[in-house]
Structure 1
């Protein structure tokens, strides 16, 4: 079996209840007979003090669940679930002969390493600074420092990152003249500047959260032979994000660094492809489609995604909505599209105030 057949993505959602009870319910859903590589939980704490309490409880419960068997990468994202109380996204792998999965930990952050005949694959994340005492810039610096320690320890270069998720509290807010997203982008650019990006930047999502400061997750890969490789995918309808002009960027510390990511990233395994679709919105060229309703923004977003996947099969989607009132409209639109795949619906601010929806996903062909 090919890597693309053995990697699986699932989403589980529970009704609203006490936090501990919701976590226990979700952990009981974990797939049997597969190696779980990453767990991402989405929920709604009341404030950052409660966010830290919930995050610590969550990590403790995952550790207890796995016992001495080793834990996967774990993240807790402060985004309200629009169709439940708490959601869990699971990245897992069907291990067969020749596959080796190892679970390790550094600085308290668990992560997973998968090695097979095609390459070595790193699944890590949950990286964060002190959400109660650090500003967004310092938190971003700390998150990347923690990530670098694991990359270095496991023999991965920064340029081996193929997929990154970046969660930023109140993403479009300003601390004085410094916008949160722009502060993050400046730090990311500084982190990336020493890397060799000959296969393009990672696919990435930069999305808002209600709370939780800065949180970063990563997948990285080193391939063993030339039939397996990563490559960037452009969208002819959009300017590459890393090529944006100053006109569409905000400022932080008197800098305007562009968002360093590709619209999508393809990972080829012989005759198969896995496509990581970056956070995608209603942008044409480099300008947002303003003055249009949620239905029009949805259609433009899905047209952008179709440009990226070129008829590949969608395996999973995350839908981020600025306004919870748009949830029913978008659910109906996705049903009309005939998609019967795992989809999560989350309340989140997008990186531009005028954008009402952002969608990311994974596809294969």
Structure 2
């Protein structure tokens, strides 16, 4: 598999993503493209639905002073959409988008396992046997559930049990984000593709999340640090960066210092997407921070937003699609988390 080098000519992407902000009607048009899914990070949330022939996911992520954004996934292929139980999905013959919501409850693990397994069953039946990218927005993520366990750890138990049950069919854990939201319950959406198209990457600076010790919960988080998708002939490859934070090995570093945490987070991403790390995984090419796009930055404390914005402005190019959200991160001592896509 070859990852397109930043200097290569631009080609039409089979699967693409961009952000739309309120009033940006021109950018919302997808002339010549087909919408695979829309995700609105807004002031309120609702269960996913089909709208204009594609899934629409609405997640409460923007506070009163925040600007909402809609993340739009498009394809160069005709799209077919549908609903199965609580799952809303779309497919184009090569890519699969699926979304579901879990309403607030005392303990999540059994429901999370069931929802994940239902999603795996649907994607497998439709022929999309390789996971590409997953997002998990967990309300009250670091608060205790009815059993006294942190909600994120509770969620991780159900997700891990689903991956264990499907280990003979789902080959590897994909890039993922597990982050807080402003509404109780859990909002999930994910991408899958055909077999042989995805490669999952780890970071030389970090312990693989699925190997974390039990001090972080009874089941380790089930995700890779990044996933590379080879889209096939005539299209650009894409590297999907998981939610990344100020973690070296498995330890949070620079407690209570958001600027240093932001610097470590950016350094972690830079190491992850570098040519050296891709070579370590048997891939060619590579990226730098200036190649990252569709960047979402999650900041725990509102007073830290100006400092994080300044750090990101210096790291990413001026035309980057960049959005900031004031939500809790998956550990109480983590102040910032960043994700994005390299193409």
Same fold (TM over 0.5): yes
**TM-score (normalised: structure 1):** 0.78
Once residues 105 and 309 of structure 1 are traced to their aligned partners in structure 2, the CA distance between those partners, rounded to angstroms, is: 35
Question: Where in structure 1 are there 5+ consecutive unaligned residues?
Answer: 15-24, 46-50, 251-255
Once residues 14 and 111 of structure 2 are traced to their aligned partners in structure 1, the CA distance between those partners, rounded to angstroms, is: 35
Tell me whether 1:75 sits opposite 2:75 in the alignment. no
Q: Is the alpha carbon distance of 1:82 and 1:270 closer, same or farther for their aligned partners in structure 2, counting shifts above 3 Å?
A: farther
Question: Which runs of structure 2 are paired with 1:244-283 in the superposition (5 Å)?
Answer: 244-247=212-215, 249-250=216-217, 256-269=218-231, 272-283=236-247
Q: Give the structure 2 partner of residue 111 of structure 1.
A: 89
Q: Give the structure 2 partner of residue 32 of structure 1.
A: 30
Q: Give the structure 2 partner of residue 192 of structure 1.
A: 163
Q: Give the structure 2 partner of residue 21 of structure 1.
A: none
SS at match of 1:128: strand
Is the CA contact (8 Å cut-off) linking 1:317 and 1:362 kept in structure 2?
A: yes
CA drift at 1:338:
4.3
Tell me whether 1:234 sits opposite 2:202 in the alignment. yes
Tell me whether 1:140 sits opposite 2:112 in the alignment. yes
Is the CA contact (8 Å cut-off) linking 2:297 and 2:339 kept in structure 1?
A: yes
CA drift at 1:237:
0.5
Tell me whether 1:349 sits opposite 2:328 in the alignment. yes
Tell me whether 1:218 sits opposite 2:190 in the alignment. yes
Q: Deviations over 1:75-124 (max 9, x none)?
A: 2222125874422111112x2xxx44222222264321122xxxx21111
Q: 2:139 aligns with which of 162, 169, 173?
A: 169
CA drift at 1:332:
1.7
Q: 2:261 aligns with which of 267, 273, 297?
A: 297
Q: 1:330 aligns with which of 308, 316, 319?
A: 308
Say how many residue pairs are matched. Answer: 315
Question: Where in structure 2 are there 5+ consecutive unaligned residues?
Answer: 1-8, 275-285
Q: Is the alpha carbon distance of 1:26 and 1:108 closer, same or farther for their aligned partners in structure 2, counting shifts above 3 Å?
A: farther
Once residues 244 and 108 of structure 1 are traced to their aligned partners in structure 2, the CA distance between those partners, rounded to angstroms, is: 32
The more displaced of 234-243 and 84-93 is 84-93
SS at match of 2:221: coil
The more displaced of 312-321 and 136-145 is 136-145
RMSD in angstroms over aligned alpha carbons?
Answer: 2.7
